[in-house]
Every structure is written in structure tokens, then in C-alpha cells.
Structure 1
Amino acid sequence: MSAVERKPAPSLAEILDLEKQVWTALVEGNAQADRALLSADFLGVYPSGFANRDDHVGQFADAPTMARYELSETQLRVLTSDIVLLSYRADYQRPGSTTWEAMLISSLWERRHDVWVNSFSQDTPLEVQ
């Protein structure tokens, strides 16, 4: 594909919508939707260690992992028109809990074969005041 044919970089709203689809899959316990949004070579860097796509999708083996969430402080870094880094704050509650937890997240999204997939995510827990 020549530079003239290159697709434009996505907007923050477009990538945030994709990220919310991942969170919605966590709330709904929808492993199939989660798998479809992650690249085959996905790498997660979490307080519990490294995770691949099967590890991420495996969270849904028993039930949803999130009850509700709010995303804020969003920012998008465009690395190329096909690779962007979304960083944001996530406030969330786990099923059966009334306590809100928070983390800062950076997610790398790549356009591969005209489909956006999440190839990397790193979560940094925050102390909620």
C-alpha cells in the first residue's frame, strides 16, 4: 500500500469505543468478544505477571470479572496511522463488591488486515482515596 492509499489515523473516540468493547466483554462475561478484540500475539503486563490472549480470555471461565466501570482521563498517542497507544484511568467494581478500585491502563491498538486489534496492555493499580 503506498503512502497515498494509507488510511488516516483513528480518532480517540474510535479507539476508546474499541477499548470499551473489551470492558463490556469483561462485564458480560463474553469470552468470544474478548478474544476477537485481542491479537493472537497479545501481551498483557499486569500486577500478577505477564499474560497472553488465552490467559486474558481465560478470566471468563467461571463468570464475568467486572460489574461496572468508568473510563476517564483518556489520551491517544498516534505512533503511525496503523498503531496507536490509548492511555486512561479505569475505575471499576468487581462482581459482588461495593468497593471501587482504580488503575491506569495503556493499550496498544494495531490495524492489521483492516481490523483493529489490541496487541498490548499494561495495568498500573492506583490507591483510591
Structure 2
Amino acid sequence: DAMGMNMVSKGVQNVLDYLQNDFPDMDVISISGNYCSDKKPAAVNWIEGRGKSVVCEAIIKDQVVKKVLKTTVPALVELNMIKNLAGSAVAGSLGGFNAHASNIVSAVFIATGQDPAQNVESSHCITMMEAVNDG
């Protein structure tokens, strides 16, 4: 499900070539004004969104957190608040309040022949955690 940025650029170039015939004094300095913010972190992507939106949810049992992650649910929830939310805010993050979600997207892009440089937009997400069911 490609986003078609290359085709948009080719289309714009064709329109500019056509206009150049009628307006020979026209100076074309760039095909893109960079508002698209392609492959760059930008507030516009956080505010308006870009590409697909995904919501994922998982419940990890208390015993799995203890055995595999060697910690407790309350400690993990607190770490998420301090690191992913507060730490990212202090750093001035542009919507990257998460635990490296873009790594997953990069792996999928590489496996499916997509452009892994597009993972920048995929880092605009929030990792939320809460203890449920007493653990």
C-alpha cells in the first residue's frame, strides 16, 4: 500500500513542464516546498496525521512481567510514565512518546520492500501502560 510520493512528484514535474511552455520566464526552484515533511519529524504529522493510523493493545500477565522482564507491573508502569512520557516531553519530542515503535515499522518495511526511511513518521505515537486485573 504505497503512499505514492514519487508519482506525485512526477505529476507535479509534468505540470511544471507544461506551465513552463506558457510562462518561459517562470523559475522553478523546487518540486516540493517541504511542507510534506517527507521522511522528517514534523509537528504537522503529529497534528494532522500521515499515512495509516494504528491502535494496538496487549495484556501481559503479571507472572510474564516478573519472569521475562525481571520486574513488576507497577515498576514497569512507572518507568513508562517517567521515561516514555515525561522524558520525551522534557526532550521536546515531536510526538515520539513511545518505546521505539518505529523499529517494528522499519522491520515490516524492509521485509515487504518499502522504504525504511519512512519510519520517521511512524515514530509519532504514544506508548501507554496501566495495571489491570490486580497486576
TM-score (norm 1): 0.23
More helix per residue: 2
Which structure has greater strand proportion? 1
- Asked which structure has the greater CA Rg, the reply is 2
Which structure's relative contact order is higher, taking Cα pairs within 8 Å and 6+ residues apart? 2
